[in-house]
Structure 1
């Protein structure tokens, strides 16, 4: 249920929890003073889940160091040079 803010005629503000379909309060339940519902900032955005993903960005931007379009030139694999011949399965 949402929390609404009300302002009493003396200028003090209080919050009241009520259903969205309930009518706004006209008097304060504690003091009996006339009240008006005020527009509040509401709650902040709540992000739930495991985190952000590269696929979440429409413009294709990626975090620094995560560009998959460039080949790995680090040479840390230690593999021999590749030949121009396609890979063939071993003979049985």
Structure 2
């Protein structure tokens, strides 16, 4: 279930509410009772864990080209220094 942030425009009371997506939007402020409780726009918070697609496909790709280019330059410098 998502957590929604609400804020009262009358008394500035803020509250995070755990709700189903099908639950009705809250309107009445629990602090002052005014019908000015408004759902806030917030960023979704989540974290990818384990060895899923992000870890295996995207995170390591940024490091691979740097490792390949340094590995390619190392043998060339080793051969030229031994000649």
Task: Quote the offset at 1:40 in angstroms.
Answer: 1.3
Greater relative contact order structure (CA < 8 Å, 6+ sep): 2
2: CA distance, partners of 1:42 / 1:50: 21
2:28 pairs with 1:27: yes
Please list every run of at least 4 consecutive aligned residues from structure 1 whose deviation after the TM superposition is greater than 4 angstroms: none
Task: Quote the offset at 1:25 in angstroms.
Answer: 0.5
Deviations 1:18-57 (A, max 9, x none): 10011100112454232111111221x412124834xx25
Please, what TM-score do these two structures have when normalized by structure 1? 0.52
Residue number in structure 2 paired with 1:79? none
Aligned residues: 66
Please, what TM-score do these two structures have when normalized by structure 2? 0.56
List runs of 5+ in structure 1 lacking aligned partners: 75-92
List runs of 5+ in structure 2 lacking aligned partners: 79-83
Residue number in structure 2 paired with 1:17? 18
2:40 pairs with 1:38: yes
Task: Pick the structure with greater CA Rg.
Answer: 1
More helix by share: 2
Residue number in structure 1 paired with 2:81? none
Residue number in structure 1 paired with 2:7? 7
Task: Quote the offset at 1:4 in angstroms.
Answer: 0.7
